[in-house]
Amino acid sequence: MRVKIKVKGIVQGVGFRPFVYRIAKKNNLKGYVKNLGNYVEIFVEGKRENKESFIYDLKNKKPPLSRIDRLDIEEIKDNIPNFDDFYIIKSVNAQEEEEGTIPADVAICDDCLREMFDKNDRRYRYPFTACTNCGPRFTIVEKIALIPLAVAIPATPPSIEVNLFSNTALVGFISLVYILPSSFSVKRFDACSLLLNS
């Protein structure tokens, strides 16, 4: 059984495609997932019960920052070649004139804070730590889709991981934090203040 699924909502920059890949592999499905600028397209083939389990996971186990506003499911009956595995396909720009949704900036998560304060972690005292569940989104996105050229991240000195907390680097970061929306900056600034005083 082959199914094409179109997912609209907050599905870019939030770890949605890797999530789709994981649940497809878990449910023994083959096919692909790709960004099409303003939505994500998923093509799966496999047993009906596996497909139903996949759709349940898609709706109920999605990444915390994602949001599904619309889910279109279409059964495919033509002679599309069989896939030998499940793939994440390179993002492409949207061809349709539809608006995409850019996620908001999100305060640093507990996992990233744990890494920042763990002396055995390579991100110890590194102030720019972020993951798919936290960090700047709206502030740095210039256009949909979220492909590498569509994101503008402020330049950081190459030596920052070596000389992590020179006062100059920290003051520069605190300045950056203050211009971000409060939902992102408050918790991040608290973490930096703790690091400055440690």
Q: What is the pLDDT of residues 128-159, one digit of tens each?
A: 888 878 877 677 666 554 444 344 444 444 44
| C-alpha–C-alpha distance, residues 21 and 26, integer Å | 9
- Domain of 49, in residue numbers: 2-88
| C-alpha–C-alpha distance, residues 5 and 55, integer Å | 9
Q: How crowded is the C-beta side of 103, counted as CA atoms within 13 Å?
A: 28
Domain termination residue (choose one: 55, 88, 121): 88
Pick from 14, 65, 23: which is nearest to 44 by CA? 23
Q: Is residue 35 part of a domain?
A: yes
Q: Is residue 78 part of a domain?
A: yes
CATH number, domain with residue 80: 3.30.70.100
Residues 80 and 131 in one domain: no
Task: Supply the angle between the helices 48-60 and 16-26 in degrees, to the nearest 10.
Answer: 150
Beta bridge partners of 141: 151
| Structural domains counted in the chain | 2
Tens digits of residue pLDDT in 42-66: 999 999 999 999 999 999 999 888 8
| C-alpha–C-alpha distance, residues 173 and 167, integer Å | 10
User: What type of residue is 196?
Assistant: L
Instruction: Count Cβ atoms below 10 Å from residue 17 Cβ, excluding itself.
Output: 20
Residues 82 and 114 in one domain: no
What kind and span of H or E run contains 44? Answer: strand 40-45
The confidence band for 39, taking pLDDT boundaries of 50, 70 and 90, is confident
Q: Is residue 101 part of a domain?
A: no
Q: Is residue 102 part of a domain?
A: no
